[in-house]
Amino acid sequence: MDSPRVTDPPPAQAPPLPQPPVRRSPRKWRARLIVLVMLAAAVVVFIRLTSIRQTNASLVDLGTVTLTAQPIPVETPQPGQITEVAVKAEQAVTAGTKLGIIEVTTTDSDGKPVLRKITLVAPRAGIVVDRPATMGSTCSRDSRSSSSTTRRS
């Protein structure tokens, strides 16, 4: 007869050996870094181009523009000699800025000569366009004195 067969228990399996960590190749990391740098560069270029286009879109062509200004003469109240010039050509001045001093000779009630100094000031804001008169020169009542200013338009 057949006798029952006794089978041997399966041999105990040894625990699996720990596997070493998976090492990724440096080529993969290098490739990832290159892609990341290229992506960042593309974003920077896109932002720069967008800002340039916005700047160009905000400019409007006006064609030929002519600026005009009105000269403002500075006149002396009385004839006299220029003793001080306080401005230069192409200097910006505001209303009330001292332009120079003129020495005027007048007579008092007794007929004696009296020297009086008159300070010339800019009547309005502007830019001195003419070369100012020189010290020692004389100004008559009819002539324009130390300088003329131009009002900004």
Whether 93 and 51 share a structural domain = no
Q: Band the pLDDT of 133: cuts 50, 70, 90.
A: confident
pLDDT exceeds cutoff 90 at 45:
yes
Structural domains counted in the chain: 2
Q: Tally DSSP H helices, then E strands, for the chain.
A: 1, 8
Whether 53 and 76 share a structural domain = no
Q: Is residue 18 part of a domain?
A: no
Distance in angstroms (rounded) separating the CA atoms of residues 67 and 37: 51
Distance in angstroms (rounded) separating the CA atoms of residues 78 and 146: 13
pLDDT exceeds cutoff 90 at 6:
no
Whether 39 and 76 share a structural domain = no
Q: Is residue 97 part of a domain?
A: yes
Q: What is this structure's pTM? A: 0.47
Average pLDDT in the 79-107 region?
89
Q: Which two tokens stand for residue 56?
A: 């160009």
Q: Mean pLDDT of all residues in the chain?
A: 80
Reported for 4-10, long-range contacts at CB under 8 A and 24+ positions apart, including other chains, are: none
**pLDDT at residue number 39:** 97
Q: Is residue 5 part of a domain?
A: no
76: CATH? 2.40.50.100
Q: Is residue 10 part of a domain?
A: no
pLDDT exceeds cutoff 80 at 4:
no
Whether 53 and 111 share a structural domain = no
Percent of the chain with pLDDT over 90: 14
What lies within 8 Å, CB to CB, of 147 at 6+ separation is 74, 85, 87, 89, 99, 100, 128, 129, 130, 131, 132, 133
Residue position matching structure tokens 């006006």: 62
Are 79 and 104 in contact, with CB atoms under 8 Å apart? yes
Q: Is residue 12 part of a domain?
A: no
Q: Is residue 1 part of a domain?
A: no
Domain hosting 144: range is 70-151
Whether 41 and 93 share a structural domain = no
Which position has the higher pLDDT, 146 or 89? 89
**pLDDT at residue number 43:** 97
Distance in angstroms (rounded) separating the CA atoms of residues 140 and 82: 11
Whether 39 and 90 share a structural domain = no
**pLDDT at residue number 153:** 43
Whether 126 and 103 share a structural domain = yes
